[in-house]
């Protein structure tokens, strides 16, 4: 199968994202140059329908692009991915007026979106928000705190979820930046993925026009979100394999022999690439299944996230061994940064242990997986 969007994004990332990756990591700053390049080259319109100025592509292309970009800078890829998820959600569930107002701005690169779903009190259970929604004269009044909001302070709109006690329902709201009562706590200082700007957002009786309320949302945005997180891990995993191959070929001893000439190193390198390749292709197959709305789309998306997360973590550890001592030195080689980035996938909500529980429960509930069906 041809993965043209992956290959194009990979080349784009090498040219426009990779030159800034080390500095972004060193300073823990938002990847502004990379996001600017993505804006100017139409990437933010990827999953937006054509009638709103986008490319009208799907979750499979989303996975390919995010993976290709993540090989050069996973922080920039994740910030981009979050905006894609927000745009996809709006295209599925927003009112026609809201789509016409927001989506053309995102497609043109004028605006980007952020997600503010998770909360400290409820963890991965996004569907149990403690943020409160009250209504008043055509407005929603939102009060609460969201944790780990990627692109905090940088996005133009934040998609968040709140609970209406009056109606006993949850609703999505699109909150414009600089809304009264909106603030962000501290600054991001992560171990890895240091460009994400993922800090808490506080809404203190923030008034949002009812036109920015999104009702009746389903699971479509959840699937593209899970695929997007998996894409970051797949990209990191392959990035480690590529950088390790480059290093072992260039590292020579006084005898003239290179590190890559050692058989055990060749075997280790083969393992890195095999794991990264298997994870990437598993992800792309799962993303295609989401677009095709297969009965197994949800479980396969979760499985892909588990597989890519494990590949990233394991490649981070094995890649460091192949680099040796120089890989462990900060700012000498990219391996130290890639290893730190690789660790994040297992704790990005939903974390890998939660995903395994979800997947196991799904499989138990499937008729053909039940023991009580017996064998014929």
Q: Give the tens place of pLDDT for each residue, 180-198.
A: 999 999 999 999 999 999 9
Q: What is the mean pLDDT of residues 199-227?
A: 89
Query: Are 88 and 101 within one domain?
Result: yes
| Residue 274: pLDDT band with limits 50, 70, 90 | very high
Query: Are 107 and 119 within one domain?
Result: no
Q: What is the domain range of residue 308? A: 220-373
Query: Are 78 and 53 within one domain?
Result: yes
Dump pLDDT digits (tens) for 298-330.
999 999 999 999 999 999 999 999 999 999 998
More confident residue, 331 or 314: 314
Query: Are 249 and 309 within one domain?
Result: yes
Query: Are 138 and 105 within one domain?
Result: no
Query: Are 304 and 236 within one domain?
Result: yes
Q: What is the mean pLDDT of residues 222-243?
A: 97
Query: Are 91 and 232 within one domain?
Result: no
CATH number where 349 lies: 1.20.140.10
User: Is residue 157 a contact partner of residue 177, using CB atoms and an 8 Å limit?
Assistant: yes
Q: Is 13 exposed, middle or buried (0-12, 13-18, 19+ CB in 10 A)?
A: buried
CATH number where 173 lies: 2.40.110.10
pLDDT at 216 over 70: no
What's the pLDDT at 371?
44
Query: Are 364 and 245 within one domain?
Result: yes
Query: Are 106 and 145 within one domain?
Result: no
Q: What is the mean pLDDT of residues 50-63?
A: 98
pLDDT at 374 over 80: no
What's the pLDDT at 217?
65
Q: What is the mean pLDDT of residues 55-82?
A: 98
More confident residue, 374 or 348: 348
Query: Are 225 and 358 within one domain?
Result: yes
Last residue of a domain, one of 112, 140, 156: 112
pLDDT at 250 over 60: yes
Last residue of a domain, one of 153, 182, 214: 214
Tally of domains in the chain: 3
pLDDT at 126 over 90: no
Query: Are 163 and 253 within one domain?
Result: no
Dump pLDDT digits (tens) for 132-161.
999 888 999 999 999 999 999 999 999 999
Which residue bears the tokens 């400290």?
Answer: 120
The percentage of residues in the chain with a pLDDT greater than 90, rounded to a whole number, is 81
CATH number where 107 lies: 1.10.540.10
Query: Are 367 and 224 within one domain?
Result: yes
Last residue of a domain, one of 160, 194, 214: 214
Q: What is the mean pLDDT of residues 27-44?
A: 97
Q: What is the mean pLDDT of residues 97-109?
A: 98
What's the pLDDT at 258?
87
* Mean pLDDT over each residue of the chain, to the nearest integer: 93
Instruction: Say whether the peptide bond before residue 350 is cis (omega within 30 degrees of 0).
Output: yes
């Amino acid at each position: 199968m041809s993965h043209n969007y992956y290959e194009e994004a990979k080349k784009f990332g090498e040219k426009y994202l990779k030159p800034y990756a080390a500095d972004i990591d060193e300073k823990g700053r938002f990847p502004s140059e990379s996001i600017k390049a993505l804006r100017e080259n139409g990437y933010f319109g990827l999953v937006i329908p054509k009638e709103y100025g986008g490319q009208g592509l799907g979750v499979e292309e989303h996975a390919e692009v995010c993976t290709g970009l993540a090989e050069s800078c996973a922080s920039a890829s994740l910030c981009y991915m979050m905006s894609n998820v927000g745009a996809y959600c709006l295209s599925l569930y927003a009112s026609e007026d809201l789509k016409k107002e927001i989506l053309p701005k995102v497609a043109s690169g004028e605006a980007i979106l952020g997600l503010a779903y998770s909360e400290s009190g409820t963890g991965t259970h996004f569907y149990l928000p403690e943020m409160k929604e009250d209504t008043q004269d055509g407005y929603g009044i939102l009060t609460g705190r969201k944790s780990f909001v990627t692109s905090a302070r940088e996005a133009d709109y934040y998609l968040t979820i709140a609970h209406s006690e009056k109606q006993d329902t949850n609703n999505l709201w699109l909150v414009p930046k600089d809304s009264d009562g909106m603030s962000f706590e501290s600054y991001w200082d992560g171990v890895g993925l240091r460009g994400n700007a993922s800090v808490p957002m506080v809404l203190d009786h923030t008034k949002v026009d009812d036109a920015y309320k999104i009702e009746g949302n389903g699971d479509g945005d959840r699937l593209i979100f899970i695929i997007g997180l998996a894409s970051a891990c797949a990209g990191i995993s392959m990035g480690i394999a590529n950088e390790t191959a480059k290093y072992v070929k260039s590292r020579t001893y006084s005898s003239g022999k290179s590190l890559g000439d050692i058989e055990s190193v060749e075997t280790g390198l083969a393992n890195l690439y095999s794991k990264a390749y298997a994870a990437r292709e598993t992800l792309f197959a799962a993303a295609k299944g989401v677009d095709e709305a297969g009965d197994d789309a949800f479980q396969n998306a979760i499985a892909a996230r588990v597989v890519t997360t494990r590949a990233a973590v394991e490649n981070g550890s094995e890649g460091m061994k192949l680099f040796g001592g120089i890989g462990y030195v900060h700012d000498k080689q990219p391996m130290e940064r890639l290893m730190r980035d690789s660790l994040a996938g297992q704790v990005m909500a939903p974390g890998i242990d939660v995903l395994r529980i979800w997947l196991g429960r799904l499989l138990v509930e499937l008729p053909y997986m039940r023991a009580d069906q017996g064998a014929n």
